[in-house]
Amino acid sequence: MTDQPLVPDTKAAPSRLRRALDSDLFYAFRRSPVAMISSAVAVGLILMAVFAPFFAVTNPFDPASLNLMNGFTPPMEPNAFTGETFFMGTDDQGRDVYSTILYGMRISLFVGFSAVLFAVVLGIILGLLAGYYGGWADSFIMRAADVQLTFPAILVAMLIFGIAKGITPVEHRDQMAIWVLILAIGLSDWVQFARVVRGATLVEKNKDYVSAARLIGRGSSLIMIRHILPNILSPVLVIATISLALAIIAEATLSFLGVGAPPTQPSLGTLIRVGQGYLFSGEWWILFFPACTLLALALSVNLLGDWLRDALNPRLK
């Protein structure tokens, strides 16, 4: 039931597509308007971010395309000097807000996906080790998890960011900021994956198929990866979806606080940080549109995660 691809893969052989379309999950998906709308919004936003150069009017980071005279143009109104009209207005340097949002969303999504991927891989490895071997590896990993859970994730991410910033030499700080951000959010988030994977591994490792694999002489790492892992992936998938929403918000929060993406590579959070400064002088659009985009992105991924949790939960059927 759960090993079907979530979004039907059109390039796969017809039989595979057929199977995906006939699955329980797809049936549940078609019956849920919330799931359909939120996935449409999420997929739409992700596609616009990935293909930002096609959707954007200008490249906001190409100085040649900027005209300072266009600065502070309100949305849908022609500029007083150049007569150009911008759908979402322009910021202080005359950059088209709509285009900066697309490029900013790219960075937000890149950081969000990478951080979750990092957390998932780390959590799965540590969870499998803890659950499969038990003993001191288990108590060591789980104690570390307990210690980390004592502190709120956003605080952990801030601390890691601060320490990593201290280590990197001054001249590389801006370039490294994105990677440091991924590391910080990923490391603050692995605990829940490790806990779930460990719990599921404890159940699976006593089942007959694992004993059988052990009996024919397969190695421990092969058993963990090829046999146990595929059977425990569905709860991981659910947490990963909800984590993605949280990671996007965490990234935006850190960037908003000025301890995240640098102004040279603005994410949605950085754009909101910049826009906040113009709120008092009436240029509301510089803040409003990035904030709405962030909200739409986080809310749609969050709702999708909630739906997925219910759809994959056999007890609710």
Of 15 and 150, the one with the shorter C-beta distance to other proteins is 150
Measure the CA–CA gap between 140 and 167, rounded to whole angstroms. Answer: 27
Query: By the 8 A CB rule, do 78 and 249 touch?
Result: no
C-beta of 168: minimal distance to other proteins in Å? Answer: 9
- Between helix 190-204 and helix 233-257 the angle, nearest 10°, is 170
248 vs 31, 78, 252, 255, CA distance in Å? 28, 34, 6, 11
Site of tokens 């759809």: 311
C-beta of 268: minimal distance to other proteins in Å? Answer: 10
Of 54 and 280, the one with the shorter C-beta distance to other proteins is 280
C-beta of 295: minimal distance to other proteins in Å? Answer: 7
Measure the CA–CA gap between 213 and 193, rounded to whole angstroms. Answer: 25
Of 230 and 258, the one with the shorter C-beta distance to other proteins is 258
C-beta of 179: minimal distance to other proteins in Å? Answer: 17
Of 53 and 258, the one with the shorter C-beta distance to other proteins is 258
Interacting residue ranges for other proteins, rule: CB under 8 A: 143, 147, 150-152, 154-155, 158-159, 161-163, 165-167, 245, 249, 252-253, 256-259, 272, 276, 279-280, 284, 287, 291, 294-295, 298-299, 302
Of 145 and 197, the one with the shorter C-beta distance to other proteins is 145
C-beta of 190: minimal distance to other proteins in Å? Answer: 17
56 vs 46, 86, 95, CA distance in Å? 14, 12, 11
CA dihedral (43, 46, 50, 55) in degrees, to 10, reads 90
C-beta of 147: minimal distance to other proteins in Å? Answer: 5
Of 88 and 287, the one with the shorter C-beta distance to other proteins is 287
Measure the CA–CA gap between 211 and 213, rounded to whole angstroms. Answer: 5
